[in-house]
């Protein structure tokens, strides 16, 4: 009797860039980055089941915006994995979305990383870690970090990872918007804004790494930085008001998350995070406000029926 693989569910967190330094673009159009990623506790769930052919379904907030065909990174992740194992990707993939979409929190990359982990458990295939990392890098610049999680330094396109020493537990509030921003257009705007400047090779400042190694949220708050922030604000000017409002309401630091438009506020503790969510929601400046903490671990199988 042929045994049918059992459904597998993987939970995967979002990310925020604590520091995002952007250099110049290479001939492929990708920019040289120096960034510090941290995984935060807003999770998508990806479930894989046996099916007649590859199929994607999505549920959750704003999920109608997500493509269900081969333009979805999840589709390409499943195909890439199946090809490496020599199987047909006859699976259905359901994505339960909690990570805001087109928001600068790497939701699509998170789902692709979760799909790789789910495929590995579903087909019980032991792919060497470096091969899985190479698949992740082929899917997108953020996918290698989303496969690992925790906290890491990213260089190259953001896909060359190195571990960093981090202590402590950081409390966040994320202000989100129903209208997303396209990552390529934010990078293009950033290039346009800097066209008369000599763009330096990006480097993560020692102060950021020191704050993390000491678990010093106040120092980290002072040194949060994102080179894409002015481009995101140029495309959605109200983000400046949101960042100012968060700082005035007690955040230790405020930045646009990744390519935006989500605004990330580092706060001192849980009770401040509750107060800030209430303040942001009543300000009328944002569509939603979410609490989270980090760092959290990367994608994990949470259900595999044996």
By rule CB under 6 A, what string of x and - marks binding of each residue 75-114 to ligand C5P?
A: ----------------------------------x-----
* Burial class of residue 245, CB neighbours in 10 A (0-12, 13-18, 19+): buried
Stretch that binds ligand C5P, among 23-31, 83-91, 125-133, 169-177 (CB under 6 A): 23-31
State how far the Cα of 273 lies from the Cα of 262, in Å rounded to an integer.
Answer: 16
Per CB under 6 A, 194 contacts ligand C5P: no
Answer yes or no: 98 catalytic: no
Q: Which of 24, 184, 192, 218 binds ligand C5P (CB under 6 A)?
A: 184
Strand partners, 27: none
**Is residue 269 flagged as an active site residue?**
no
Half-sphere exposure of 104 (CA within 13 A, CB side): 30
Stretch that binds ligand C5P, among 77-85, 138-146, 223-231, 247-255 (CB under 6 A): 138-146
DSSP 8-state code for residue 59 = E
Give the integer Cα–Cα distance in Å for 41 and 135. Answer: 25
State the minimum distance, in angstroms, from the CB of residue 142 to ligand C5P: 5
Among 104, 107, 140, 221, binds ligand C5P (CB under 6 A): 140
Q: Parallel, antiparallel, or unpaired for β 91-97 and 55-60?
A: parallel
Nearest residue (CB) to ligand C5P, 20 versus 233:
20
Q: Identify whether the C-beta of residue 233 lies closer than 8 Å to the C-beta of residue 65.
A: no
Cβ neighbours of 96 (radius 10 Å): 17
Sole binder of ligand C5P in the list 5, 6, 7, 30 (CB under 6 A): 30
Binding site for ligand C5P (CB under 6 A): 29-31, 33, 109, 140-142, 157-158, 183-184, 187
């Amino acid at each position: 009797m042929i045994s049918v693989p059992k459904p597998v569910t993987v939970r995967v967190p979002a990310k925020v860039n604590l520091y995002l330094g952007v250099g110049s673009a290479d001939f492929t159009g990708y920019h040289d980055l120096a960034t510090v990623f941290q995984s935060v506790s807003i999770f998508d769930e990806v479930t894989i089941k046996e099916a007649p052919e590859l199929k994607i379904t999505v549920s959750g907030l704003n999920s109608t915006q997500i493509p269900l065909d081969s333009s979805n990174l999840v589709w390409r992740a499943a195909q890439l994995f199946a090809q490496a194992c020599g199987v047909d990707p006859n699976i259905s993939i359901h994505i339960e979305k909690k990570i805001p979409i087109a928001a600068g929190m790497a939701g699509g990359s998170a789902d692709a990383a979760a799909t790789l982990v789910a495929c590995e458990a579903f087909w019980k295939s032991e792919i060497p870690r470096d091969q899985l990392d190479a698949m992740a890098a082929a899917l997108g610049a953020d996918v290698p970090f989303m496969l690992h999680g925790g906290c890491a330094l990213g260089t190259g396109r953001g896909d060359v990872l190195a571990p960093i020493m981090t202590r402590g537990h950081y409390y966040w509030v994320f202000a989100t918007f129903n209208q997303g921003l396209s990552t390529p257009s934010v990078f293009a705007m950033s290039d346009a804004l800097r066209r008369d400047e000599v763009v330096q090779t990006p480097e993560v400042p020692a102060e950021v790494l020191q704050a993390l190694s000491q678990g010093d949220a106040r120092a980290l708050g002072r040194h949060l930085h994102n080179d894409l922030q002015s481009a995101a604000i140029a495309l959605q000017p109200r983000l400046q008001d949101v960042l100012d409002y968060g700082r005035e309401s007690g955040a230790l630091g405020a930045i646009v998350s990744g390519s935006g438009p989500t605004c990330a506020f580092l706060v001192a503790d849980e009770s401040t995070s509750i107060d800030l969510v209430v303040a942001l929601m009543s300000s009328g400046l944002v569509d939603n406000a979410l609490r989270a903490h980090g760092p959290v671990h990367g994608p994990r199988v949470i259900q595999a029926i044996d």
